[in-house]
Amino acid sequence: MMKTAEEIWQAMVSGEVYDATHPELMRRLKATREKLWEFNRLNPSQTEKKNAILHELLGGHGKWFHINQPFRCDYGCNIFIGENFFANFNLTILDEAEVRIGDNVFIGPNVSIYTACHPLDAETRNTAVEWAEPVTIGNNVWIGGSATLIPGVTIGDNVVIGAGAVVTKDVPANVVVGGNPARIIKKL
């Protein structure tokens, strides 16, 4: 029996296994892609119009925020950003679960933040089932270009993530991490 639209949405955002091809999820993905298509094609000087689209798309945001074009996400409504947020070109956020980003966070170009998880077993993976794990980023965080944050990680306050790092586990506050997988390089 197919789950209702609300049941499938709740399953996804709460970390339960769900059918990623459910018609309601496909409808919401399409609606988000259409908003992003418009956002990414606006003249960069059209700040008010870009912010209006992001205001409609995001789950919440602080008073001042800026996301350079192009920007990509799956749903948008599961992304919450704090005050004084800046993201450079090509930010990708797969927000099947919540992505919470604190105040004074700066993100370099080509950064990817993922919440979607897929089964390791190919036969199961091919059925389009998946689950999601939230990502949390603290305050005063700088994420260097081309870094990747995988599902379920929490980044503490006052952290610097080096360019190209792949963050596979939680990062405590007040450190610099880098590498693949990311490890602590320096305490701040």
- Helices assigned H by DSSP within 42-118: 47-57
The model's pTM is 0.96
Q: Which domain holds residue 37?
A: 12-187
pLDDT at 138: 98
What digits encode the pLDDT tens for the residues 43-60?
Answer: 999 999 999 999 999 999
Mean pLDDT of the 148-163 span: 98
Among 119, 158, 126, 125, residue whose Cα is nearest residue 142 = 158
**pLDDT for residue 2 is more than 80:** no
Provide the terminal-to-terminal Cα distance of the chain, rounded to the nearest Å. 53
Domains in the chain, number: 1
Round the average pLDDT of the chain to a whole number and report it: 97
Catalytic residue from among 22, 55, 61, 118: 118
Instruction: Answer yes or no: 118 catalytic.
Output: yes
Per-residue confidence (pLDDT) for residue 3, from 0 to 100: 85
Q: What is the CATH number of the domain that holds 99?
A: 2.160.10.10
Q: Is residue 146 part of a domain?
A: yes
Question: Is 6 contained in some domain?
Answer: no
User: Would residue 152 count as lying in a domain?
Assistant: yes
**Domain membership flag for residue 21:** yes
- Number of Cβ within 10 Å of residue 57's Cβ equals 20
